[in-house]
Amino acid sequence: MNNERPKIFTLLISCLFIFAGETFANEKSTLSVNSNCGDISEGEFMVSQELHTYKINMQPGDILDANIIPVGAYLQLDAELYDPVDQKLEGIMASSAGTKLIMKSKVLSGRGEYKVQVRNYNKRRGNSGRAGMYEIHFGCVKRNGDNIIPSGK
């Protein structure tokens, strides 16, 4: 009987890893945009579990401030910031649908292309995601102290 417990435990753990992998495998990357400090862009999710990536070049000593604002009351967003070697620096999720996300980095260390990834679902909870539109505003504080505030083009 004691030999059965380790086998069952191993089976349960294996099933959890398979389920977690399946959840992330369904993600659809449908938008990749090159952005600059001061930009305001619109994105629209059209399918469940969709990923949009915004790429922005930053320098050591800069601070990135990305505000992501859903249009309407139903869209719930999840966002993460990655450095030039694809290491996650920041992660933030909306506490409720229709909530504005404010992602402000600490002082950046590396030079290169940073990525802000926006999802219409919570990657950690695996919910399905809704269709909807949002705006993303990129503000930056440069190492020399210049403050670049987002303004529409």
Written as one string, the DSSP assignment of 58-85 is E-TT-EEEEEEEESSSS---EEEEE-TT
Domain for residue 9, yes or no? no
- pLDDT for 66: 96
pLDDT tens track, the chain, 153 positions: 556 655 544 444 443 333 333 334 567 888 999 999 999 999 999 998 899 999 999 999 999 999 999 998 889 889 999 999 999 998 887 767 888 999 999 999 999 999 999 998 876 666 678 899 999 999 999 999 999 999 865
The residue range of the domain holding 94 is 28-147
Question: Is the Cα dihedral 84, 89, 149, 95 positive or negative?
Answer: positive
Domain for residue 68, yes or no? yes
Domain for residue 95, yes or no? yes
- pLDDT for 125: 64
Domain for residue 153, yes or no? no
Q: Cα–Cα distance between 113 and 111 in angstroms, integer?
A: 7
Domain for residue 6, yes or no? no
Domain for residue 11, yes or no? no
What are the Cα distances from residue 64, in Å, to 40, 70, 78, 110, 135? Answer: 14, 19, 17, 12, 16
Count of domains in the chain?
A: 1
- pLDDT for 93: 76
Residue 134 host element (H or E): strand 132-141
> The pTM is what?
0.79
- pLDDT for 96: 77
Look up the CATH number of the domain holding residue 99. Answer: 2.60.120.380
Domain for residue 53, yes or no? yes
Domain for residue 115, yes or no? yes
